[in-house]
Amino acid sequence: MAELNPFKIAQAQLAEAAEKLGLDDATHEFLRWPRREYRFTLPIRMDNGKTKVFHGYRVQYNNARGPTKGGLRWHPDETIDTVRALAAWMTWKCAVVDIPLGGGKGGVTCNPKEMSEREKERLARAYIRAVGSELGVHRDVPAPDVYTNPQIMAWMMDEYEAMHGHSHPGMITGKPIPLGGSQGRGDATARGGVYIVREALATMKVDPKSTSYAVQGFGNAGQFAATLHAEILGGGKLIAVSDSRGGIINRQGLDPQRVIHHKLETGKVADFPGSEPISNEDLLELEVDVLYPAALENAITGENAERIQAKVICELANGPTTPEADAILHKKGVFLLPDLLANAGGVTVSYFEQVQNTYNYYWSLDDVQAQLDRKMTDAFNAVYAMQQKEKVHMRLAAYLVAVARVAEACKLRGWV
């Protein structure tokens, strides 16, 4: 469906904000498109001796507020439009949490589940050889995303340093701790989201200790959301989780740690003892206080939005809700915490990692989490104040805050 093209969705969301802000035509048109994008083919020698050609991308969307920043996704369905959309969302995400970075994104069309560690290393290094001259701490800084991890970042950093001949730990974030990674990066996306949920529940006068919640998508962010919800909010009952192979439900509550252990042991959440099966689609429509969509784009659409019963939706995934669904959920009174606010904890701690790398001094875990809490709380307050002032849904409020900041930077530079 054309309307589910992620980049067209990103452009539609921008258009709504541009109209509300009264942006001039040139500024709006400038912000609709990436400043730079790179596409390349990567021939990789596989373990069986055959060469396989992969397609790679890097989009530097806007650098008015600082070097572009954004993850690298390895996914069989990766396309240039997906990467463009994610780069645009990263631009607004960095602006909404008010960190001095622009937005970028990268990807490779591949299925890492079918690749060995040696094949992944060859692909990681080939990617950097293809685009490394366009990266750097003052230019464009990648990070982990779907199906990439700290080890892949380590290989990429090593290849970049080999190309340049000296140490550059800040050229990539999400690295292992011994190579300059930051404390607190592993759970940052989910932790930031739960901080935002805490603030939202406070405005609703809801006791966070009594909340029920469900998690759709049980990768890194989803697993941490399952545990951190109860840890940060002082309570709460996890009743359902799902991954790409199905879901489980127990209305009396699931033990998050035991479910994570089961997932790591078996590769899926299905067949967890004491649970019943539930589909991803049905999980989204459960009657819960908080729903965490933590999988991929377009999970909540115009087709199923009317059946959503959650009071709060915290978008840990990028783009899980379509514009048509946004309007329906707003009308229903659902408190939707949009991705560019809710999952900005990851890029915020990535920024902290860049800062630590740059001046070669590293913070404690308590320091990182305290700074993250402050950044996320300030961002929520700015977006919520905009939402109350303009009487719009929270995604548009977040866009109004972010786009205004980026447009101002573009104008101050004399670009438009």
Spatial separation of the C-alpha atoms in residues 294 and 316, rounded to whole Å: 5
| % of the chain at pLDDT higher than 70 | 99
Cβ contact 179:143 at 8 Å: no
Give which of 279, 284, 316, 290 is closest to 303, Cα–Cα.
284
Active site residue 20: no
Spatial separation of the C-alpha atoms in residues 247 and 147, rounded to whole Å: 20
Spatial separation of the C-alpha atoms in residues 372 and 368, rounded to whole Å: 6
Q: What is the pLDDT of residues 197-226, one digit of tens each?
A: 999 999 999 999 999 999 999 988 999 999
Per-residue pLDDT at 120: 98
Which residues, 6 or more positions from 350, have their beta carbon under 8 angstroms from its beta carbon? 69, 141, 143, 173, 174, 182, 185, 188
Cβ contact 4:322 at 8 Å: yes
The active-site residue, picked from 93, 105, 120, 175, is 105
pTM higher than 0.75: yes
Cβ contact 247:276 at 8 Å: no
Confidence of residue 31 (pLDDT cuts 50, 70, 90): very high
Spatial separation of the C-alpha atoms in residues 388 and 400, rounded to whole Å: 12
HSE toward the beta carbon, residue 208, CA cutoff 13 A: 18
- Other Cβ atoms within 10 Å of 111 Cβ, number: 11
Per-residue pLDDT at 298: 78
Per-residue pLDDT at 3: 53
Is residue 65 over pLDDT 90? Answer: yes
Confidence of residue 5 (pLDDT cuts 50, 70, 90): confident
Tell me the pLDDT of the chain averaged across its residues: 95
Q: Give the mean model confidence (pLDDT) for residues 154-161.
A: 98
What is 36-179's CATH number? 3.40.50.10860
